[in-house]
Structure 1
């Protein structure tokens, strides 16, 4: 599997020397998951932070009734894991499941700790991506509290056009916090307005 997409992503924030790239390459694990396979399941400890090279995943919480509450989707050049579980090495609150055949570059928890000690600027890199993820989550919460469903859908469609065409509508509805029937009504209304 090709490490270049990961290196290109990292180089947007920090410069690595050839020796640092070689060390990083030694610590990365590549894995291919089939459609519907889980990268992590609720209750298990998240051992890996995953960078999506190709494919699509959903991160969700399943409640006691088996209802899925989708928190996010991850496609190429995005990260997928249960960050709380990974950082604390405790039981995961979320599932990460592949919606397509998905190839990932994985960092083992202990290897990531070693890499950050041996390449200190990687610690800065991971801090930046965690901060961005946190800000994104905060903004999503504000949108969910303040915007009507139609506006949330339009935001998603405009912000993530590559995702909508790759996921079933019932999953998008779950992400938006509405029923699939209501999402269909919203989409019909938008078509009539055009």
Structure 2
């Protein structure tokens, strides 16, 4: 179950087999069925999660009942409420499995142990957090400066199978439009 994690770490840093064997001892393998929650808003995020297989989403529901998707967690990605994970405060987000998923979970104490005992992983997580910050800033700027159609086509070009794996109302939420607007966009694009 740890093959993809090993591959992803090695794509970013070099890690010895001995160090990776130690890494494996600090993770908790978990299977999460579709529509089950890994985290619910208000609860502290006690795990950061590597997705070995499947698909999750991080989202929030506002006071009007509207859903806002912050992130999809695809195979080979990490997902958590990092602020809650690092501080122990209640989460602002829900994390739900959209598909049957196999996850590798690590607690904050185990994560701290990992960073202390395998220093190369401190570099690995720094690079991941940097890349996440850059991606988040780019997404925020796109949402403020490009049209909904451009946001949709960018998402589809980056993740071609997302429309087969994720319901359209969730794609609409992710790109910041209504379901009806997304339907019109898809119709316009198919006629071009």
TM-score where L is the length of structure 2: 0.97
Aligned to 1:58: 57
Paired residues, number: 192
Q: CA deviation at 1:170?
A: 0.4
Matched, 1:25 2:24: yes
Please give the residue correspondences for 1:54-133 in structure 2 after superposition, counting only pairs within 5 Å.
Answer: 54-133=53-132
Any idea what the Cα deviations from partners look like across 1:68-89, whole Å, max 9, x if unmatched?
A: 1111111100111111111112
Contact 1:55 1:102 in 2 (8 A): yes
Unaligned runs of 5+ in 1: none
Q: CA RMSD in A?
A: 0.9
Write out per-residue CA displacement over residues 105-141 of structure 1, whole angstroms, 9 at most, x where no aligned residue: 1111100100100111111100110111111000000
Contact 1:6 / 1:77 at 8 angstroms: preserved in 2? yes
TM-score when scaled to structure 1? Answer: 0.96
Q: Which runs of 5+ in 2 are unaligned?
A: none
Are 1:57 and 1:100, in contact at CA under 8 Å, matched by a contact in 2?
yes
Tell me the CA shift for residue 18 of structure 1. Answer: 2.2
CA displacement, residues 25-67 of structure 1 (integer Å, 9 cap, x when unaligned):
1111100001111111111110111010111111111112332
> 1:182 matched to which residue of 2?
181
2-structure distance, mates of 1:38, 1:67: 18
Greater alpha carbon shift after TM alignment, 25-34 vs 63-72: 63-72
